[in-house]
C-alpha cells in the first residue's frame, strides 16, 4: 500500500531486467487490481505485466500499455529506491539525495 494524496492505494513491485519497478495495482482501462493470483503480475512468458480481468499487457520496465483495452494508457508509477536489497517508497514531494 502507498499513501497518495492522503489515500492508501494498493501497489506492487516487480524486478525486471535486474531493476526494480513499482506501480499502483490498478489497470489503466478500469480501476481493478491486475494480479491474476495474489502477487502474480507477469503473463506466462514472464515478459509482460498482464491484467487478469481484461488481458491488457504492460511493459514491466515502463508501465506503458502494449495491447488490450488500456488504449495507450499506462500504469501509474510509484517512485522507489533499492538499498541493501530493501525497497523503499519515495514519498511524494520529497527529493532523493544522490
- Confidence at residue 8, expressed as pLDDT on a 0 to 100 scale: 86
Element (H, E) at 14: strand 11-16
The set of cell numbers assigned to 77 is 508509477
Element (H, E) at 20: strand 19-24
The pLDDT tens digits along the chain (98 residues) read 887 777 889 999 999 999 999 999 999 988 899 998 899 999 999 999 999 998 999 999 999 999 988 887 999 999 999 999 899 988 765 444 33
> Do 57 and 73 touch, CB atoms closer than 8 A?
no
Cβ atoms < 10 Å from Cβ of 58: 26
Instruction: Return the domain boundaries, the chain.
Output: 2-89
- Confidence at residue 98, expressed as pLDDT on a 0 to 100 scale: 35
- Confidence at residue 74, expressed as pLDDT on a 0 to 100 scale: 95
Fold (topology level) of 2-89: Rieske Iron-sulfur Protein (2.102.10)
- Confidence at residue 97, expressed as pLDDT on a 0 to 100 scale: 38
- Confidence at residue 3, expressed as pLDDT on a 0 to 100 scale: 77
- Predicted TM-score (pTM) of the model is 0.86
Amino acid at each position: 500500500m502507498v499513501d497518495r494524496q492522503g489515500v492508501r492505494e494498493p501497489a506492487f513491485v516487480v524486478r525486471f531486467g535486474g531493476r526494480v519497478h513499482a506501480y499502483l495495482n490498478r489497470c489503466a482501462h478500469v480501476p481493478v487490481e491486475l494480479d491474476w493470483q495474489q502477487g502474480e503480475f507477469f503473463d506466462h512468458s514472464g515478459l509482460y505485466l498482464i491484467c487478469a480481468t481484461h488481458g491488457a499487457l504492460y511493459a514491466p520496465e515502463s508501465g506503458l500499455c502494449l495491447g488490450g483495452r488500456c488504449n495507450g494508457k499506462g500504469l501509474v508509477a510509484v517512485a522507489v529506491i533499492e538499498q541493501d536489497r530493501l525497497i523503499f517508497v519515495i514519498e511524494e514531494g520529497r527529493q532523493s539525495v544522490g
